[in-house]
Structure 1
Amino acid sequence: MSDVLVVNSGSSSMKYQLVDVDAGEALATGLIERIGRPSGRATHTDAAGREFRDELEVPDHDAAFAWMLRAFDEHGPSLDAHAPVAVGHRVVQGGARFFEPTVITELVKINIDELSVLAPLHNPANLAGIVAAEHAFPAVPHVAVFDTAFHQTMPPPAYTYAIDAEVAAKHRVRRYGFHGTSHRFVSHAAAEFLGRPVEELKLIVLHLGNGASACAVDGGRSVETSMGMTPLEGLVMGTRSGDLDPAVLLHLQRRAGLDVDGVDDLLNKRSGILGLGGHGDMRDLVAAAESGDERAALALDVYAHRIRSYVGAYAAQLGRVDAIVFTAGVGENAAPVRERALAGLGGFGVEVDAARNAERGGGARRISSDGARVDVLVVPTNEELEIARQTLEVVAG
């Protein structure tokens, strides 16, 4: 059996997916929302794409798992016939402690809890999901797969911030990086598409969704990434600012009267393409820019400019680039963004074929011109499959 249940638990939501790892397919997916609120909402989707919806009160994560078990029992597939051999959990922050997927023990849970200081919105919710899952599935191993683990191969110059070393060490201030499961999955999928071992490739992976990050992958190992101590650093995102002069924070506190929470809200929830262009969804932003909205057009230009800057920086770090790979919701679907992001890089061997870029497809595809020195690919990500694979590898020994 190779069925693994993958759980992504948030503070008020829980996503799950039952994955047949050998087939590389999801047998069922689900989303439970508004956990802990008076009215909840849940959706279970089987392998045929049939959705089953329910509205109910979901007071906590234990109740969410109880609903999930009922959904499998009533709508399939049967967990008797597809009993998961393990449960894989997405955990956002593994700090410098976790370099690989890890079987969850009491000590691991203590560490995840202690690392909540670095991810206060995510790790407590991840831990709540782990505890509830252990109640629901007490007889199988549970494995934590950390967003940060893939980036633990970065060298010290890449993850070290230039602040007082003692302060940084005391408060664990360094670059950790995120989207690690996606960057790992996509880099290996790109190597498979190119028919070359990942160990000999130098790749720049651009995970562009509501959250966005770039990663330089050298021989299958992350050597640089754009997100830092938190997911706020780096590229422009849906509502997050990305890179910013730190003194802007001081200026806003002194001159605009914003306190710490106000600055946090501004940079994480009211910035990015939403703050610049008035639209948090890239589809709406592109449509507005193409209709002549100057504010939206500037936001799109800033978004692409930041990506292009990172591509150039990572090319310098890698020494050469074999392929640039777009993935996630925006990267896989927004042709205008891909075109703008790589515009003007022909001198570096990067050429996007307009017709190929405009095509929409479900699988990995090449959008670079014939004869271009650097392949440009679109590779759909599948973080749940990656978590399931890593979980199975751990429990199989």
Structure 2
Amino acid sequence: MTAAIAGTVLVLNSGSSSIKFQLVHPETAESVAHGLIERIGEPEGRIVFHHTTGFEEHLGAITDHRSGLRMVLDMIEGLGRPLREAGIVAVGHRLVHGGEVFHEPTLIDDAVVQAVADLSVLAPLHNPANVIGMEVAREELPDIPHVGVFDTAFFHDMPAAATTYAIDRDIAREHGIRRYGFHGTSHDYVSQRAAAFLGRDRADLNIIVFHLGNGASASAIAGGRPIDTSMGLTPLEGLVMGTRCGDIDPGVVMHLNRSAGLRVDAIDDLLNRRSGLKGMSGVNDFRALLRLVADGSEDAKLAYDVYVHRLRRYLGAYLVELGGVDAVVFTGGVGENNADVRRDALAGLGRLGIVVDPEANATRADTERRISAPGSEVEVLVIPTDEELAIARAADALAKSLPR
């Protein structure tokens, strides 16, 4: 088992309520181990651990990210020698918000950890968890490179018209207020895979990507370069998400302050943690939402309709921005697995050249696949994202470039 580990990159994706991890060979894409710790901080947490000799599942309370990450490292250590001797060449960290400072893979040191912590004001659900991931992993594996790969990096060079908010320019410059975009590693990877699936050069394609999970975002990619995306200064803007509201009139914030007496922190908590699907229906898991819809819940049905309405609004905007599209791509947990969302988001768009094949759409699979009808002018694809592999390759490349 230890020989299989040697030469791998450990990828850590420490999210707001979960930790995804993978031990992967960056060149071959072979996964030695991968898993998920979810429902952190809830009464019933869950650990799923896949490795080359089997599968394990553990249920029980996971109090916080620090204890969760230590569980991850203990499980991986069980595959061979102690971690420090196992031949892991780098640790790649998925980091959400890089601000104006970070827009390429970055070697992590104390200053980087502090800078990411300082940026938590822009990503309060994610950057604090990212910081814990870096701290714990660096304590456990102090002698190998740790590399941060930032969600915002892919969108860093979007056109100024797409990144600029229409507020006082001096205030915007002083406080770094611009649209950054998120899930960039996924949008970049998935658009590359879509081009490969179609046997075409990404530079020749216009692609719309919907990354739909508990967090959700859309992007418009022209010739391999993003020209717009739905998330903004923070991961709050854009599509409806599990607990985040997405687009909202900024006047709502002032109204809640003046009329309801809510202070800024309470409004922040409301819009980031108690809105979206959860705020409208009481649940943020899409599977639970669909069960409520099937049971006749009007609140759940409205939440679903609002979710789909927002997808269609962004689809229309990006079709115009791109001047036409070659492919619409779905990815993420909801995008890859929910046929109803894909069907309803693209329903009635035959005049725009988008026609979904009902049978292909309804067929469940874990592979890259086409779900558009044979006569559809626009390709509709489902491409499983693999942010961990993309991060592993970026971390490995940076590690190899360091002086020996």
1:290/1:79 CA distance change after superposition, 3 Å: same
Aligned partner of 1:198 in structure 2 is 202
1:258/1:137 CA distance change after superposition, 3 Å: same
**Secondary structure of the structure 1 residue equivalent to 2:235:** coil
1:69/1:356 CA distance change after superposition, 3 Å: closer
Tell me if the contact between 1:234 and 1:242 (Cα under 8 Å) persists in the aligned partners. yes
Say which of 332, 336, 342 aligns to 1:332: 336
Moved more, 270-279 or 332-341: 270-279
Determine the C-alpha separation between the residues in 1 that align with 2:359 and 2:50.
35
Say which of 133, 136, 139 aligns to 2:140: 136
Paired residue type of 1:334: N
**Secondary structure of the structure 1 residue equivalent to 2:32:** strand
Aligned partner of 2:3 in structure 1 is none
Aligned partner of 1:210 in structure 2 is 214
Tell me if the contact between 1:241 and 1:267 (Cα under 8 Å) persists in the aligned partners. yes
**Secondary structure of the structure 1 residue equivalent to 2:156:** helix
Paired residue type of 1:27: V
Determine the C-alpha separation between the residues in 1 that align with 2:376 and 2:234.
36
1:155/1:197 CA distance change after superposition, 3 Å: same
Tell me if the contact between 2:40 and 2:61 (Cα under 8 Å) persists in the aligned partners. no
Whether 2:164 is the aligned partner of 1:160: answer yes
Determine the C-alpha separation between the residues in 2 that align with 1:55 and 1:330.
25
1:351/1:46 CA distance change after superposition, 3 Å: same
**Secondary structure of the structure 1 residue equivalent to 2:178:** coil
Shift of 1:238: 1.6
Shift of 1:26: 2.1
Whether 2:48 is the aligned partner of 1:29: answer no
Paired residue type of 1:200: D
**Secondary structure of the structure 1 residue equivalent to 2:143:** coil
Tell me if the contact between 2:42 and 2:61 (Cα under 8 Å) persists in the aligned partners. no
Instruction: Let me know the Cα RMSD of the aligned residues.
Output: 2.8
Tell me if the contact between 1:152 and 1:222 (Cα under 8 Å) persists in the aligned partners. no
Aligned partner of 1:277 in structure 2 is 281
1:31/1:334 CA distance change after superposition, 3 Å: closer
Moved more, 72-81 or 32-41: 32-41
Tell me if the contact between 2:62 and 2:68 (Cα under 8 Å) persists in the aligned partners. no
Tell me if the contact between 2:84 and 2:141 (Cα under 8 Å) persists in the aligned partners. no
Shift of 1:252: 1.9
Name structure 2 gaps, 5 residues minimum. Answer: 1-5
Determine the C-alpha separation between the residues in 1 that align with 2:294 and 2:59.
39
Paired residue type of 1:174: R
Whether 2:377 is the aligned partner of 1:373: answer yes
Say which of 259, 278, 291 aligns to 1:255: 259
Tell me if the contact between 1:202 and 1:218 (Cα under 8 Å) persists in the aligned partners. yes
1:14/1:237 CA distance change after superposition, 3 Å: closer
Determine the C-alpha separation between the residues in 2 that align with 1:38 and 1:296.
24
**Secondary structure of the structure 2 residue equivalent to 1:320:** coil
Shift of 1:18: 0.8
Determine the C-alpha separation between the residues in 2 that align with 1:38 and 1:270.
18
Determine the C-alpha separation between the residues in 1 that align with 2:213 and 2:145.
31
**Secondary structure of the structure 2 residue equivalent to 1:50:** strand
Per-residue Cα deviation, 1:326-370 (whole angstroms, up to 9, x for no partner): 011111111111111111221111111111111111101111111
Shift of 1:228: 0.9
Say which of 126, 129, 139 aligns to 1:122: 126
Aligned partner of 1:297 in structure 2 is 301
Determine the C-alpha separation between the residues in 2 that align with 1:262 and 1:226.
24
Tell me if the contact between 1:88 and 1:391 (Cα under 8 Å) persists in the aligned partners. yes
Aligned partner of 2:102 in structure 1 is 98
Tell me if the contact between 1:46 and 1:76 (Cα under 8 Å) persists in the aligned partners. no
Determine the C-alpha separation between the residues in 2 that align with 1:367 and 1:323.
11
**Percent identity, aligned pairs only?**
54
Paired residue type of 2:205: L
1:239/1:38 CA distance change after superposition, 3 Å: closer
Tell me if the contact between 1:18 and 1:29 (Cα under 8 Å) persists in the aligned partners. yes
Tell me if the contact between 1:99 and 1:152 (Cα under 8 Å) persists in the aligned partners. yes
1:112/1:265 CA distance change after superposition, 3 Å: closer
Shift of 1:33: 7.0
Shift of 1:317: 1.2
Paired residue type of 2:8: D
Shift of 1:220: 1.9
Q: TM-score, length-normalised on structure 2?
A: 0.88
Determine the C-alpha separation between the residues in 1 that align with 2:368 and 2:62.
40
Shift of 1:292: 4.0
Say which of 323, 339, 345 aligns to 1:341: 345
Shift of 1:290: 4.3
1:201/1:168 CA distance change after superposition, 3 Å: same
Paired residue type of 1:235: L
Tell me if the contact between 2:356 and 2:380 (Cα under 8 Å) persists in the aligned partners. yes
Determine the C-alpha separation between the residues in 2 that align with 1:139 and 1:41.
30
Paired residue type of 2:93: H
**Secondary structure of the structure 1 residue equivalent to 2:78:** helix
Say which of 55, 70, 75 aligns to 1:50: 55
Per-residue Cα deviation, 1:292-335 (whole angstroms, up to 9, x for no partner): 43333222222111111101111111122110000111111111
Q: Which runs of 4+ in 1 moved over 6 A?
A: 33-41, 54-60
Say which of 19, 30, 33 aligns to 2:24: 19
**Secondary structure of the structure 2 residue equivalent to 1:279:** coil
Shift of 1:7: 1.5
Determine the C-alpha separation between the residues in 2 that align with 1:379 and 1:301.
24
**Secondary structure of the structure 2 residue equivalent to 1:262:** helix
Per-residue Cα deviation, 1:67-108 (whole angstroms, up to 9, x for no partner): 544433434587588521111011111011222111223443
Determine the C-alpha separation between the residues in 1 that align with 2:396 and 2:189.
15
Tell me if the contact between 2:236 and 2:244 (Cα under 8 Å) persists in the aligned partners. yes
Moved more, 218-227 or 74-83: 74-83
